[in-house]
Every structure is written in C-alpha cells, then in structure tokens.
Amino acid sequence: MVLETQRLILREMIQADFPVLCKILQDDDVMYAYEGVFTNDEVQGWLDRQFERYKEHGFGLWAVVLKETGIMIGQCGLTMQDYKSKKVMEVGYLFQKEYWHRGYASEAAIACKEYAFDKLNVKEVYSIIRDTNIPSQKVAIRNGMTCIDKFIKHYRGVDMPHFLFSVNKIL
Ligand SMILES: CC(C)(COP(=O)(O)OP(=O)(O)OC[C@H]1O[C@@H](n2cnc3c(N)ncnc32)[C@H](O)[C@@H]1OP(=O)(O)O)[C@@H](O)C(=O)NCCC(=O)NCCS
C-alpha cells in the first residue's frame, strides 16, 4: 500500500488489474478527453508504462481501491509530464463511471498532492486538463489548484487545448 485515506487505499497496480483497467480505458465516456477508447494492446502498454514509472521514480498512477469492498474503482497518482520545455509532476485520475459523483476522485487527488508535498518534498504539483473536461477541472479546484496557463497538447494525432492547473506547498 502506498497511501490510505478515509475511504480509499492507493497501491501499485499489478498485472491482475488488467480487466478493471480495460473497464476504465475502454469506456467511451471515461475516455472522451483522450480521443477515444484504448485497444487491449494500448491498455497493456498503459499498464507497462506504470510498472516502468514505479521502477524509475517510485511513483506513477496507482490503483484506487475502495476499503469497503476491496474493489479497484479507479486510478490516481503522480506522473512526470511535459509542459513546454520542462517536466512537471502531475496529479492524474481516471475512475470507473459507476463510481463517479461520490467524491472519490477528489479524496484520492488530495492524498496524492499531500504525498508529493510531504513525502517527495515537491514544492508545486500540477494537473493538465483538456479545456472541455469540466469534471476533471472541478477535481483540480477541490484539490486547491488554480488555472495558470492554457496551451495546446498533441495527443493521438489531435491538437487539444489544455489548461495547466497548479497548487503550491504552503511553507
Ligand atoms: C475526472 C473524474 C475522475 C471526476 O470524477 P467525479 O466523480 O466528478 O469527481 P469526484 O469523485 O471527486 O466526485 C465529486 C462530485 O461528487 C459529489 N459528491 C457526492 N458525494 C460526495 C461525497 N461524499 N464527498 C465528496 N463529494 C461528493 C460532489 O459534489 C461532486 O459533484 P460535482 O462535481 O457535480 O460538484 C471522472 O469524471 C473521470 O474519471 N473522467 C474520465 C477520466 C478523465 O477525464 N480524467 C482526467 C483527465 S485530466
């Protein structure tokens, strides 16, 4: 286990999480901000990328497990992302649709931010969010973030306007 909140456990993903990951990354509604659903190979690539991140950095997107049931309901964690010419630490989150609107994403995102500040000693964390993705922007705001920039991100062959949200550690 990496992190614990009131209702959730965050832990590293394992290969056995592949079917749940498919449920998330192959759902049209979850993936609209990513220009469509992933193939099985793309899901495996996504999972492998997290394994590499755990090894390289000690963090990545983690599985979010509901304490009450032990079910993996989503992913949330920290990744290094490109912003202009630098790398920034992003708090990212994607949840199964049936677990939206219960505050789980915000609870997990706040815990990840605190982990970055307290355990990794990072001074500022970011969330990079497509301009049309209002639910994700609301999570960022609940995570104490404000929008500090707008830029174009090239992803899956499409130019997408994105907002850069950020929050600083209070020293
Ligand atoms: C982004 C995403 C995780 C947000 O999910 P969400 O369910 O809106 O966010 P939360 O889990 O924090 O839930 C917050 C909502 O639950 C409500 N809520 C209900 N019960 C609650 C409780 N006990 N505690 C807190 N909030 C509660 C809040 O009022 C809030 O509603 P609102 O947004 O209408 O104001 C989800 O839309 C998603 O997975 N999207 C697809 C992937 C994606 O786009 N990821 C981000 C890429 S940048």
Residue 57 predicted with pLDDT over 90: yes
Q: Is the pLDDT of residue 171 over 90?
A: no
Tens-place pLDDT, residues 64-87: 999 999 999 999 999 999 998 999
* Mutation probe of ligand 1 site: the residue of 29, 83, 88, 102 with most atoms within 8 A of C-beta: 102
* pLDDT for residue 33 is more than 90: no
How many angstroms is it from 87 CA to the middle of ligand 1? 26
Q: Say how far apart CA 159 and CA 156 lie, in whole Å.
A: 9
Q: Residue 40 — pLDDT band, cuts 50, 70, 90?
A: very high
- Is the CB of 163 within 6 Å of ligand 1? no
Domain positions in the chain: 3-168
- Residue from 26, 93, 147 to probe ligand 1 pocket by mutation (most atoms less than 8 Å from CB): 93
**Residue 58: pLDDT over 90:** yes
Does 33 contact ligand 1 (Cβ within 6 A)? Answer: yes
Q: What pLDDT does residue 2 have? A: 86
Distance CA 68, CA 71 (A): 8
Predicted TM-score of the model (pTM): 0.96
As a whole number of angstroms, the longest Cα–Cα distance in the chain is 44
Q: Which is more confident, 154 or 11?
A: 11
Task: List pLDDT tens digits, range 123-167.
Answer: 999 999 999 999 999 999 999 999 999 999 888 888 999 999 999
Check residue 12 and give left, alpha or beta (phi > 0: left; psi -120 to 50: alpha): beta
Give the pLDDT confidence score for residue 29 in this predicted structure. Answer: 94
pLDDT the model gives residue 153: 87
Measured in Å, how far apart are the chain's first and last C-alpha atoms?
27
For residues 96 and 16, what is the distance between their CA atoms, to the nearest angstrom?
17
**Amino acid of residue 159:** D
105-127 per-position pLDDT tens digit: 999 999 999 999 999 999 999 99
Nearest-atom number in ligand 1 for the CA of 74 is 39
User: Could you say which architecture CATH assigns to the domain 3-168?
Assistant: 3-Layer(aba) Sandwich (3.40)
In contact, 2 and 62? CB cutoff 8 Å: yes
Q: Is the pLDDT of residue 38 over 90?
A: yes
Q: 102 alpha carbon to ligand 1 midpoint, in Å?
A: 6
- The rounded distance, in Å, linking the Cα atoms of 108 and 119 is 16
